[in-house]
Amino acid sequence: MDSRRCKCQWCGMKIAAPIGAQTITCPRCQSVTQLQPARNNGFANFPTANNNMSPGFPAFPSRPGRMSPNANNFQPQQFNRPMSPQINNIRPPAVHGRKRAVLCGINYRGHPKSLKGSINDVLSMRYFLVEKLGFPNASVVVLTEDEKDPYKYPTKANIRSALRWLVQGCQPGDSLVFHYSGHGTRVRDHDGDEIDGHDESLCPVDFETEGRILDDEINNTIVRPLPRGATLHGIIDTCFSGTFLDLPFLCRINRAGYFKWEDHRIRGYKGTSGGTAFSISACDDHQSSGDTTAFTGVPMGALTYSFIQTLEQETKLTYGRLIMSMQNKIQQAQKGLGLNGANETQEPQLSSSEPFDIHSKLVAI
The answer on 160 and 27 residing in a single domain is no
298-350 pLDDT tens trace:
657 788 989 999 999 988 899 999 999 998 888 877 775 455 554 456 788 89
Where in the sequence is the domain holding 28, given as residue range(s)?
Answer: 3-34
> Pick the catalytic residue: 179, 183, 233, 264?
183
The answer on 110 and 22 residing in a single domain is no
144 band by pLDDT with thresholds 50, 70 and 90? very high
* Average pLDDT rounded to a whole number, residues 241-262: 85
- Give the CA distances from residue 152 to residues 1, 100, 109, 248, 257, in Å, rounded to whole numbers and listed in that order: 36, 16, 16, 30, 40
The answer on 105 and 26 residing in a single domain is no
Is 325 within the bounds of a domain?
Answer: yes
The answer on 305 and 226 residing in a single domain is yes
84 band by pLDDT with thresholds 50, 70 and 90? very low
The answer on 226 and 149 residing in a single domain is yes
Is 65 within the bounds of a domain?
Answer: no
Is 206 within the bounds of a domain?
Answer: yes
Q: What is the pLDDT of residue 189?
A: 63
Q: Is 251 a catalytic residue?
A: no
The answer on 111 and 238 residing in a single domain is yes
Q: How far apart are CA 151 and CA 158, in angstroms?
A: 6
The answer on 284 and 142 residing in a single domain is yes
Q: How many domains does the chain have?
A: 2
The answer on 111 and 28 residing in a single domain is no
What integer best gives the mean pLDDT of the chain? 75
Is 66 within the bounds of a domain?
Answer: no
CATH (domain of 298): 3.40.50.12660
E-assigned strand segments in 220-361 = 231-237, 249-253, 259-263, 276-281, 291-292, 300-301, 339-340, 349-352
The answer on 301 and 170 residing in a single domain is yes
Q: What is the pLDDT of residue 70?
A: 34
Tell me what percent of the residues of the chain surpass a pLDDT of 90.
Answer: 37
The answer on 324 and 243 residing in a single domain is yes
Please check the confidence at residue 202 and state whether its pLDDT lies above 80.
Answer: yes
12 band by pLDDT with thresholds 50, 70 and 90? low
Q: How far apart are CA 155 and CA 25, in angstroms?
A: 18
Is 93 within the bounds of a domain?
Answer: no
The answer on 246 and 118 residing in a single domain is yes
24-58 pLDDT tens trace:
766 655 456 667 654 333 222 222 223 233 333 33
Q: Is 239 a catalytic residue?
A: yes
Is 50 within the bounds of a domain?
Answer: no
The answer on 327 and 224 residing in a single domain is yes
Q: What is the pLDDT of residue 9?
A: 61
Q: What is the pLDDT of residue 198?
A: 64
In degrees, rounded to 5, the angle at the alpha carbon of residue 339 between the alpha carbons of residues 145 and 111 is 30
> Pick the catalytic residue: 29, 239, 251, 283?
239
Is 275 within the bounds of a domain?
Answer: yes
Decide the pairing of beta strands 339-340 and 276-281: unpaired
End-to-end CA distance of the chain: 57
Is 134 within the bounds of a domain?
Answer: yes
Q: How far apart are CA 220 and CA 99, in angstroms?
A: 21
Q: What is the pLDDT of residue 85?
A: 34
Least confident of 45-59, 110-124, 135-149, 223-237: 45-59
